[in-house]
Amino acid sequence: VFLLLTALIHNFYKTIISKLDTKAFGLKETSRIKAFVFSFISVPAKWIMTARQYVLNIYTENRAYARPFKTEFG
């Protein structure tokens, strides 16, 4: 199970590094996966129902999450 999760995180990490602005998350091109996990994956979030649809509610002050998850901060 651990190897499977590590492989998933690695693939997700490579996609984020190649497609998104890494400086918005406080990462560099040479950042390691551990820094990525603590700054991106370890963010509390909860699915809530609003107007008959589920919306991802992200609990962070970092505005860099608005683009990948298409959410509004305010």
Res 31: pLDDT: 75
Q: What is the pLDDT of residues 45-72, one digit of tens each?
A: 888 998 898 888 888 777 766 666 666 6
Res 66: pLDDT: 66
**Closest Cα to residue 36, out of 16, 52, 57?**
16
Task: Print burial letters for 34-68: b (CB count within 10 Å at least 16), e (below 16).
Answer: eebeebbeeeeeeeeeeeeeeeeeeeeeeebbeee
User: Domain ranges in the chain?
Assistant: 2-67
Write down the pTM of the prediction.
0.42
pLDDT band at 4 (very low <50, low <70, confident <90, very high): very high
Mean pLDDT of the 15-35 span: 75
